Amino acid sequence: MKRLAVYCGSATPADPAFIESARAAGRTLAGRGIAVVYGGGRLGLMGAVADAALEAGGEVIGVIPEALVNAEVAHRGCTELHVVSTMHQRKALFTDLSDGFVTIPGGVGTMDELWEAVSWAQLGYHAKPVGLLNVGGYYDHLIAFNRHMIDTGFIRKQHAGILIHADTIDGLLDRMADYQPHETIFRMKADNL
């Protein structure tokens, strides 16, 4: 994995553990020689990931829609900053530029990005690892809900291992490095769907 898309919030929660976990993620990725591809903002967890990776000598590639350049206060210190027209182009470029996806805490936009990465993996648009960093139990309910979708049959058994999760960034990256692609929907016969 040479580049990972990092999905996270542009907000700054009251609990400093979230910002510190974002900074730790940025430092760790840079320390492993993995470039950060992210939303291009300088605020909140986004900014914390980017700043920490840059401070550690890492490569940081921002991708931000034109309409959000001012609203999210685009990070002008990125190694590269791509300004795109739409959110769809943003997410497509995340996928094109990255070897996998790491989701750290965030809100609605972060969930949109995470579930699209999972959905596209199921279908076969990519065969890249999708990781979820469960900082302080933030994603406990989401992990349980994902398990519920598997148990009830809405996520096929072949796709149960797509969402990789861990409580530490090092543990998550190690698990993502071991990821083995699964059988995609595009390759399945109708009888198996």
d(CA 143, CA 149): 10
- Helix, strand, coil fractions of the chain, as percent rounded to 5: 50, 15, 35
Could you tell me if 45 and 70 are in contact, meaning their C-beta atoms sit under 8 angstroms apart?
Answer: no
Residue 185: the pLDDT is 87
> From residue 181, how far is each of 101, 106, 164, 176 by CA, in Å?
14, 26, 12, 11
Q: Order of strands, edge to edge, in the sheet holding 3-7?
A: 80-84, 60-65, 35-38, 3-7, 101-103, 130-133, 163-166
Residue pLDDT, tens place only, 116-164: 999 999 999 999 999 999 999 999 999 999 999 999 999 999 999 999 9
3-state SS class at 106: coil
Tell me the CATH number at 104. 3.40.50.450
The parent domain of residue 85 ranges over 3-192
Q: What are phi and psi of 80, to 5 degrees?
A: -140, 145
What H or E segment, with its residue span, contains residue 19? helix 16-31
Question: Sorting pLDDT into bands at 50, 70 and 90, what band is 188?
Answer: confident
- From 90, 123, 70, select the one nearest 5 (Cα to Cα): 90
Residue 191: the pLDDT is 67
Residue 36: the pLDDT is 98
Is a pLDDT exceeding 80 seen at residue 84?
A: yes
Is a pLDDT exceeding 90 seen at residue 182?
A: no
Residue pLDDT, tens place only, 7-50: 999 999 999 999 999 999 999 999 999 999 999 999 999 999 99
Pair of tokens at residue 18: 């979230």
Q: Helix crossing, 108-123 with 87-97: angle to 10°?
A: 60
pTM of this prediction? 0.94
Residue 193: the pLDDT is 65
Residue 71: the pLDDT is 73
The domain tally of the chain equals 1
